[in-house]
Structure 1
Amino acid sequence: MSSALKLIRRFILILLLSICLLFVFNAVLLFYLSYHQTGNAGGWKAAQAVSDALTADGNGTYQLSREGASVLEEYQAWAILIDDNGGNVVWHSDNLPGAVPLAYSASDIAQAVRGYICDYPTTTGSHGGDLLIMGHPKTAYWKLMWNTFDYNTIAKLPQHVLVFIICNLAAIFLIYMIASSGIFRSVKPILCGIEALPQGEDIYLKEKGLLSDLAASINRVSEKLSAQNRQLRKKETARANWIAGVSHDIRTPLSMVMGYAGQLEEDTALSQEARCKAAVIRRQSEKIRNLVSDLNLASKLEYNMQPLKLSKVSMTSLVRQVSADFLNMDLEEKYPIIWETTENLPACFVLGDKELLRRAITNIIQNSINHNDEGCGIYVSLAENSGQCEIILEDDGIGASDARIEELNDKPHYMVCDDSITRQRHGLGLLLVKQIIAAHQGSVEIGRGSHGGFSVILRLKVS
């Protein structure tokens, strides 16, 4: 709805701006036309010019100079000179129409001065005490015969103009609102439909009105998105089921391989070389078992199929337990675990799934062991900062390059990226760590530690 209101405000702003520009344009145009008419002064100057060009000789006759004749020719007009004493025409131009009278009463002169003579619009000029009347073509001017305004009307002209403008603006706005109400009724469901598309909702808009074509297009897009979502869910379910099936089917034969390899490893009748090979088979089979388990868990976490058994977990205690387990398994003492946290550290409780969090810490330590065959020291520390529990796991092994660290931090795993499934970017161990911590609304930071090797920092909200 906010988009609809923005659209309406935009339309109203454009309307008001258009009205203002139109008003300014009309005002400029009116000023130009009025100035042109005022500056021209019409036939009044022409009549005076003809009067000035008319001269009398001693015998009572009049002569019109060449300049006066050219004025009459320019205006296609005729002229008469009325005597002040008797109202008779004492001179007229050669092109005087025959219908024009040659004698005038005071009433006739009053009519002629402000209006017409035989439908010819007239203008006047003074010639001494006499009156010169210039008659123009019938279509030259439109003269107002009774152009009289009372003083009140002239005094209140600014108020009248303001009222006129306000009434016009109100009428235009009313017309606009009535005309645009139908458009708004059509636009509103369109905008609601567009806003609902990213939510994955099924949308159907009535395909009628001004925007019926757009509504039909949105309906087709909604149908296409729904079909794609159904196909995607079907594909994801099939992949999850396939992974679960493979994990289940491989468990029994793998257990048999591990069992027989263990028996051969402990059989003293075999040579030392054969027993070592059996030990290698057992260890590699254990890796396969762990990978299958990781694959199944990663698939469940990716598709939110792994329910979290939430409880209050002491991360200090959990990290100590995992570290002790690894120390007990490290018979050759190739991977010593150094506890760098002070003994008075609080319990650092978080709300989470204890077994999943144990799995995440186990995977990180196992990752250091897997990538350092010659052995390395593993350093463990905990801290509580700004309401977050930080678990820092480092080693002093071979570490990783900057490019590799950037890839582990930023690039998606091959399980969740279909554009490059032929090239595995990194293993399942760190993917599981990221998924488990993400399920607990935490964060994972992979980098180079202070001891020169690999470093992983887990951050979880303290409860």
Structure 2
Amino acid sequence: MVYIALISIMVAVFVLTRFFLLKREIKRATMQLNELNGKQTEKKIDVAYYDKSFENLASKINDQIDLTLQAYAEKRSKENELKQSIANISHDIRTPMTSILGYVQLLESDELSSEERTEYTAIIKSGALRLKVLLEDFFELSLIESGDYRLKMEKIKLNHLLIEVLAGFYEQFHQQSIEPALHIPEKEISIIADSSAVKRVIENLLLNAIKHSSGDVTIRLEKLPSSIQLIISNAVSQLSENDIIFLFDRFYKADKTRFAKGTGLGLSIAKSLMLKMNGNLSAELKENQLIIKCEWKD
């Protein structure tokens, strides 16, 4: 009986001691969380009393802290991106609007000749059209990036669609004295995607190549073992590796003087559409060639 009583006492002491240590560790963890939530520290929870169950709990809490910090960092990044986008679109709207208002005031003069009136009217029309394109592009990008944007995913013949889009750009290539080098297989190459979205992506990439090329343009469609790639490359004279990093960002213009007429949204729209279709759009600079690659998993 004495032996049993001693064992019972020892068990009781062990349980009480364990309970006391766990309770103290919970208070310590609570204090650490309060300090973290109060932004007094950025240190995560550490465990002084080594209990497997409590260690697992602390590990899960630390994982949640990591996720919260990551979400907070992403939130700040999105807020900064939004502020920059608002600043950019405000600037791009203000520029043609200032021009329009200035020439409207000139039109109010009774001393204008008919030639001057015609010239100023043309300038106002050009500014209004630029403003219209900017607002339409910005609205389209906002719509694409919203959760409500829906795509009709179906099997499409990419080589046929590519030729169809290229035919519509014949005059624009001709005006820029560009004869694109085409490498498009006759054999059918199909992907699962939204045909109108793919068409928009190709159009934006071709427009970018035509506007910014300092030489020839090459268009290549390839079927690889694990993917299908559409590669559009063109010579560039004023582009750096730093530009490539930001090439798909909203409103980004590598050469703000030379390319001032663009909205800076075309490549961003193309990137968003590719991601919506589970594809990828990337760019690299190689020997003064801008190489933009659309990729769909086969």
Q: Which TM bucket (shorter chain)?
A: 0.5 to 0.7
Query: Match of 1:349, as an amino acid?
Result: I
- Aligned equivalents of 1:168 and 1:336: distance in 2? 94
SS in 2 for 1:292: helix
The CA distance in 2 between the partners of 1:194 and 1:316, in whole Å, is 50
Task: Work out which of the residue numbers 163, 166, 176 in structure 1 matches 2:17.
Answer: 176
**Corresponding residue to 1:435 among 249, 272, 285:** 272
Which secondary structure state, in structure 1, belongs to the residue aligned with residue 237 of structure 2? coil
Q: Secondary structure in 2 aligned to 1:445?
A: strand
Q: Shift in Å at residue 383 of structure 1? A: 1.9
How far apart are residue 167 of structure 1 and its match?
Answer: 9.1
Matched residue, 1:367: 208
Q: Is the 8 A contact 1:336 1:376 kept in 2?
A: no
> Aligned partners of 1:297 and 1:338: how far apart in 2?
31
Counterpart Cα distance in 1 of 2:273 and 2:285: 22
CA distance in 2, matches of 1:274, 1:325: 34
Q: Is the 8 A contact 1:437 1:444 kept in 2?
A: yes
User: 1:448 aligns to what?
Assistant: 285
Q: Quick check: 1:379 aligned with 2:241?
A: no
Partner residue in 1 for 2:103: none
Question: How does the TM-score come out when normalised to structure 1?
Answer: 0.38
Alignment RMSD = 4.8
State the AA in 1 paired with 2:273.
I
User: Are the equivalent residues in 1 in contact too, given 2:236–2:290 (CA < 8 A)?
Assistant: yes
Whether 1:353 aligns to 2:191 is: no
Deviation at 1:296, TM superposition (A): 0.8
Q: How far apart in 2 are the matches of 1:379 and 1:277?
A: 39
Distance 1:173 1:384 in 2: 69
Partner of residue 314, structure 1 = 157
Residue type of the alignment partner of 1:347:
I
Is the 1:443–1:459 Cα contact (8 Å) retained in structure 2? yes
The reply on whether 1:390 has 2:229 as its aligned counterpart is: yes
| Structure 2: distance between partners of 1:338 and 1:196 | 53
- Which runs of structure 2 are paired with 1:16-415 in the superposition (5 Å)? 173-179=14-20, 287-332=130-175, 334-344=177-187, 346-350=188-192, 352-372=193-213, 376-398=215-237, 400-408=239-247, 412-413=249-250
Q: 1:458 aligns with which of 275, 294, 297?
A: 294
Q: Is the 8 A contact 2:234 2:290 kept in 1?
A: yes
SS of structure 2 residue aligned to 1:313: strand
| Alignment gaps of 5+ in structure 1 | 1-165, 201-224, 248-253, 255-269, 416-425
User: What one-letter code is carried by the residue in structure 2 that aligns with 1:460?
Assistant: W
Q: Distance in 1 between matches of 2:275 and 2:180?
A: 26
C-alpha spacing 1:286/1:343, structure 2 compared with 1 (3 Å): farther
2:206 is aligned with what amino acid?
A: I
Query: Corresponding residue for 1:99?
Result: none
- 1:313 deviation in Å? 2.6
Aligned identity (percent) is 17
For the 8 Å contact 2:227–2:297, the answer to whether it is kept is: yes
The structure whose Rg is larger is 1
Q: For residue 365 of structure 1, report the CA deviation from its aligned partner.
A: 0.9
- Structure 1 CA distance for aligned equivalents of residues 225 and 14 of structure 2: 57
Q: CA deviation at 1:302?
A: 3.0
Shift in Å, 1:457: 0.8
**In structure 2, do the counterparts of structure 1 residues 169 and 455 end up closer, same or farther at CA, with 3 Å as the change threshold?**
farther
CA deviations 1:176-231 (Å, max 9, x no partner) are 3443565688878x96887667878xxxxxxxxxxxxxxxxxxxxxxxx9xxx9xx
Structure-2-length-normalised TM-score: 0.56
Partner Cα separation in structure 2 for residue 434 and residue 391 of structure 1: 14
Query: Per the alignment, do residues 285 and 384 of structure 1 end up closer, same or farther by CA in structure 2, a change over 3 Å counting?
Result: farther
Instruction: After TM superposition, give the deviation of residue 326 of structure 1 in Å.
Output: 0.6
In 1, Cα distance between the equivalents of 2:8 and 2:239? 78
Taking structure 1 as reference, are residues 397 and 279 closer, same or farther at Cα in structure 2, changes over 3 Å only?
farther
Distance 2:232 2:284 in 1: 11
Shift of 1:392: 0.3
Structure showing greater relative contact order (alpha-carbon pairs closer than 8 Å, 6 or more residues apart): 2
Distance 2:178 2:127 in 1: 19
Matched residue type, 2:202: I
What displacement does 1:174 show? 2.7
- Change in 2 beyond 3 A, CA 1:396/1:182: closer
Structure 1 residue 362: Cα displacement: 0.8
Unaligned runs of 5+ in 2: 1-6, 30-53, 94-99, 101-113, 253-262
Alignment partners' CA distance in 2, 1:380 and 1:286: 30
Q: Deviations over 1:281-301 (max 9, x none)?
A: 777665544332211111122
Q: CA deviation at 1:428?
A: 0.8
| Secondary structure in structure 2 of the residue aligned to 1:306 | coil
1:317-345 CA distance string (max 9 Å, x none)? 2222211211155454623222123333x
Measured in 2, the distance between the counterparts of 1:291 and 1:298 equals: 11
- C-alpha offsets along residues 423-461 of structure 1, whole Å, 9 cap, x if unaligned? xxx8111111221112223222212256x4322111222
Q: What is the CA distance between 1:403 and its match in structure 2?
A: 2.6
Deviations 1:101-156 (A, max 9, x none): xxxxxxxxxxxxxxxxxxxxxxxxxxxxxxxxxxxxxxxxxxxxxxxxxxxxxxxx
